[in-house]
């Protein structure tokens, strides 16, 4: 089975800190995604990557950046964390064309104080 | 743009009762439709998906969903709910999206989610 691993389950950071959320998948998937999940809003796409060093903005990219230096790893970066970025962050991966069966990680619950 | 609406934020049922979770979508072409489940503290797991063909789709854990084009709906059903079904359920619509390199991949848009509580 494909496994998507998010390095931290819970994270508490201070306002203004630079925060890195790491995601690793082990099945050579081309596509990787970062979502944030908030009650009543469902999942909203922040950024996605379809190849190494390739990325595209999702629906809510403001305040975030990403990095994909290796195929298996996709990092979400909060350049200067703010309290409104307190949320659950979910990473997902999928195969190339026509595959919509995303595999999700367990999530990182980030609290910015 | 595609969108998904789950009208019910929270549903409570008794164990053994039947279940129906509603999902309505907005999309210009034939949609690809999905249901995911998220157990507490877990990531999302794919329950079932509809691409084409038979409009009644069977999934894992005894769930099924029916695509009704005339109603723009893809409701999830289960005839008898178990306590372990308590979770949050997400409907999603997918479409092909072309990246900057011109290659298509699947992009999902999720609904707001429905929290299911099961009473013993």
Domain boundaries, chain B: 3-119
Quick check: B103 and A56 CB within 8 A? no
pLDDT at residue number B41: 80
Q: Is B83 helix (H, G, I), strand (E, B) or coil?
A: helix
Mean pLDDT across B33-38? 94
Best probe of the B interface among A5, A10, A42, A106, by most B CBs < 10 A, is A42
Is residue A107 domain-resident?
no
The CATH number that applies at residue A63 is: 2.60.40.10
Total of domains in chain A: 1
The answer to whether A86 and A43 have CB atoms below 8 angstroms apart is no
Look up the CATH superfamily of B3-119: Immunoglobulins (2.60.40.10)
Quick check: B101 and A102 CB within 8 A? no
The answer to whether B33 and B49 have CB atoms below 8 angstroms apart is yes
Q: Distance, in angstroms, between B92 CA and closest chain A CA?
A: 10
Structure tokens at B32: 């690809």
Please state, in angstroms and rounded to a whole number, the distance separating the CA atoms of residues A92 and A105. 6
Backbone angles phi, psi at A107, to 5 degrees: 100, 155
pLDDT band at A50 (very low <50, low <70, confident <90, very high): confident
Domain membership of residue A43 as a residue range: 4-99
- Length of chain A counted residue by residue: 113
Report pLDDT digits (tens) over A90-99.
999 987 655 5
Cβ contacts of B94 on chain A, cutoff 8 Å? 100
Backbone angles phi, psi at B109, to 5 degrees: -120, 130
Structure tokens at A68: 């994909």
Is residue A43 domain-resident?
yes
Average pLDDT, whole number, for chain A? 91
Q: Give the residue from B2, B6, B14 showing the smallest Cα distance to B35.
A: B6
Q: Give the residue from B29, B9, B22, B36 showing the smallest Cα distance to A38.
A: B9
Q: Is A85 helix (H, G, I), strand (E, B) or coil?
A: helix
Report pLDDT digits (tens) over A53-63.
889 899 899 99
Q: Distance, in angstroms, between B120 CA and closest chain A CA?
A: 25
Is residue A108 domain-resident?
no
Q: Which residue of B9, B42, B108 is in closest CB contact with A100?
A: B108
Is residue A105 domain-resident?
no
């Amino acid at each position: 089975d494909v496994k998507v691993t998010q390095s931290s389950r819970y994270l508490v950071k201070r306002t203004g800190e630079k925060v890195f959320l790491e995601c690793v998948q082990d099945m050579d998937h081309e596509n990787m995604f970062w979502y944030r999940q908030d009650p009543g809003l469902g999942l909203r796409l922040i950024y996605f990557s379809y190849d190494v060093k390739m990325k595209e903005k999702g629906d809510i990219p403001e305040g975030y950046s990403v990095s994909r230096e290796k195929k298996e790893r996709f990092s979400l970066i909060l350049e200067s964390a703010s309290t409104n970025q307190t949320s659950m962050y979910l990473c997902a991966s999928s195969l190339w064309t026509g595959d919509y069966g995303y595999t999700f990680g367990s999530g990182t619950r980030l609290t910015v104080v | 743009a595609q969108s998904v609406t789950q009208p019910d934020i929270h549903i409570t049922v008794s164990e053994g009762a039947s279940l129906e979770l509603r999902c309505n979508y907005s999309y210009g072409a034939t949609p690809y439709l999905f249901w995911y489940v998220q157990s507490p503290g877990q990531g999302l797991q794919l329950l079932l998906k509809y691409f084409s063909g038979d409009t009644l789709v069977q999934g894992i854990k005894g769930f099924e969903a029916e695509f009704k084009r005339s109603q723009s709906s893809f409701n999830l059903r289960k005839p008898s709910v178990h306590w372990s079904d308590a979770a949050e359920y997400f409907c999603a619509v997918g479409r092909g999206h072309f990246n900057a390199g011109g290659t298509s991949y699947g992009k999902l848009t999720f609904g707001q989610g429905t929290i299911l509580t099961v009473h013993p």
